[in-house]
A = this chain, B = another copy of it.
């Protein structure tokens, strides 16, 4: 990986990914060893959309490296409201920071920003586009809990929208994982994503019923089904109920199944799963810190 910009998970080769995950694992084992490595360096945070965990995770990662952050604040309190272009905003802010983290509602915005500045840009979500550091922490969690060898993974829920799923599925084509996609008909993977996955050598197997594959899975990646995708409240309730995980259902799973979720969760995973060995979603969120530390260490 060149030390310039992190725009898309698609730019990362298998060896790029493994280098980041290896370094993240070293950092997680001994965070004290890097506690001062970015002393005096500043990470610019440009979040044009709300975010809790991504922003806090980057902040924590930078500060655990001994560095600090400079935050643009909310769009409501920024010059954007005065009609400033994104290109101008990032060219000003590159004067304040040694790297920029950008979340923006428009697909392609991170790429555009990277064309205008000399400091590294990290895409923290560009609309329906990419969110590569989420993919890296997902991969890290999979590797730590199930490994990539002979991996069978189920990805369930809203597969139509949601850059997280598309990006993860694409990244997994680097590892010859066996991927199963479980969703209601109305929320299946978009044709373009299926095509991309085929092109990358993946075999896309789709299911409407989790129980068809549950017993074969090493990892089950659950996503949130959003109410606003359904015009009819009753239809939403029925679908959400069918794609909900609880301990009773998990009795038909492998004993060492790893259950993941990008969070926030609403009802997709019953609280009684939280205390089981399956539950890996909070650990997954926490893994964002060493993964982002490894990336920042490399970029800065």
A-side residues, CB < 8 A to B, are 35, 40, 42, 44, 47, 50-53, 55-57, 59-60, 63-64, 66, 68, 70-74, 76-84, 87-89, 91-93, 95-97, 224, 263-266, 271, 282, 285-286, 288-289
Are B68 and A52 in touch, CB under 8 angstroms?
Answer: no
- Check A77/B51 contact, CB under 8 A, given A92-B282, A95-B285: yes
Are A52 and B40 in touch, CB under 8 angstroms?
Answer: no
Are B96 and A56 in touch, CB under 8 angstroms?
Answer: yes
Interchain CA distance A84-B80 in the complex, whole Å: 29
A286 closest partner in B (C-beta): B95
Can you report 29 residue pairs joining A to B where beta carbons are below 8 Å apart?
A35-B40, A40-B64, A42-B60, A42-B63, A42-B64, A44-B56, A50-B76, A50-B78, A50-B81, A52-B72, A52-B92, A56-B93, A59-B70, A59-B71, A60-B70, A60-B96, A60-B97, A74-B74, A74-B77, A79-B264, A82-B224, A82-B264, A82-B266, A83-B266, A84-B264, A88-B263, A88-B265, A89-B264, A96-B286
| Number of identical monomers bound together in the oligomeric complex | 3
Q: What's the minimum C-beta distance from A60 to chain B, rounded to whole angstroms?
A: 4
Are B266 and A79 in touch, CB under 8 angstroms?
Answer: no
A59 closest partner in B (C-beta): B70
Are B264 and A83 in touch, CB under 8 angstroms?
Answer: yes
Interchain CA distance A263-B66 in the complex, whole Å: 32
Residues of B within 8 A of A264 (CB): 79, 82-84, 88-89
Q: What's the minimum C-beta distance from A294 to chain B, rounded to whole angstroms?
A: 16
Are A95 and B52 in touch, CB under 8 angstroms?
Answer: no
Q: What's the minimum C-beta distance from A92 to chain B, rounded to whole angstroms?
A: 5
Interchain CA distance A78-B266 in the complex, whole Å: 14
A266 closest partner in B (C-beta): B83
Residues of B within 8 A of A47 (CB): 77
Interchain CA distance A93-B71 in the complex, whole Å: 19
Are A40 and B57 in touch, CB under 8 angstroms?
Answer: no
Are A92 and B35 in touch, CB under 8 angstroms?
Answer: no
Q: What's the minimum C-beta distance from A24 to chain B, rounded to whole angstroms?
A: 14
Residues of B within 8 A of A282 (CB): 91-92, 95
Interchain CA distance A288-B51 in the complex, whole Å: 29
Q: What's the minimum C-beta distance from A259 to chain B, rounded to whole angstroms?
A: 14
- Check A70/B78 contact, CB under 8 A, given A93-B56, A289-B95: no
